[in-house]
Amino acid sequence: MVKIIKLIKRTSYFVPFTIYLFVFCVIIIPGYTWLKNLSKLPDSAYNSIFSLLLSIALLFSLAVLCFGLITVMVSFIYFKVKQTKNEVRVLLNTRYHKEKGQNKQSVSININPILLPLMGFLRIRIVYDKDLYSHKFSPVPNKHKLFNTSFSGEFNWDLPEIREYQIEKVIIYFEDFFRFFSFASSVNASNRFHISPASQSLHNIKASPRKTEETTTRVEELKRVEGELINYKNFETNDDVRRIVWKIYAKNKELV
């Protein structure tokens, strides 16, 4: 059962549409149907105008979807053609640094050649340690150009475990401006790095000696506590010998 769940989860990483497209369709289709029924009401002078505006809104929504699909498809097909010719190169560089008091693993990525979607985005998912998948990252590009056949950027990867990591593949996602479509392609990119323990300066460590606790409650009534002068008496003839306190006899030579 666990293997089936993992397989379904891995397959969902390559689904060509996102949850945003599903939400968009859930809102548009019932809304269009409801407004279409309103335009059929009799004795209304605005039926023709309302139907025309409704058709324009529907055509505009379809145009937005087609524009996003075309821009993503062009970039994806271009990348797959270059990948079949073994011309795609993906370079990863890792760097461990400290940012705002937190330890961060910075990853720099360089992909060449690649064509970014028009007004779209490029996102990255890393496959590491054989069967582990990272979250989707949005690398910050180093260069901002409208048409560029290469991409270089970096992102921070939060890895809490202190150990060695081995990157095996990189999944590249081509997404449109509205993030309705997301076409994925995996590329081999081997890299190995390790997370070191966080170093702390000795000057920042403050050690204070333990302070004695101050009693704020005063006992007004004295209580009798068992000691040398309480529950003791001198030994008499009829007393049990086993009850003699031999420690006091060894100290004072007195039988009590």
pLDDT at 198: 63
Question: In sequence order, which residues have a C-beta less than 8 Å from that of residue 184 and are 6 or more positions away?
Answer: 13, 14, 16, 125, 171, 172, 173, 174
Mean pLDDT for each 10-residue chunk of the chain (256 residues)?
A: 77 84 86 75 65 84 90 91 88 74 75 86 87 86 74 83 84 90 88 71 60 58 57 81 84 84
CA-based diameter of the chain, in Å? 128
Peptide bond into 117 cis (omega under 30): no
Look-up of token digits 């270059």 = 82
| Residue 188, CA atoms < 13 Å, CB-side half-sphere | 4
54, 32 contact by CB (below 8 A)? yes
Q: Say which residues have a Cβ less than 8 Å from residue 244's Cβ, sequence separation at least 6.
A: 235, 255, 256
Contact between 170 and 124 (Cβ < 8 Å) = yes
pTM confidence score: 0.67
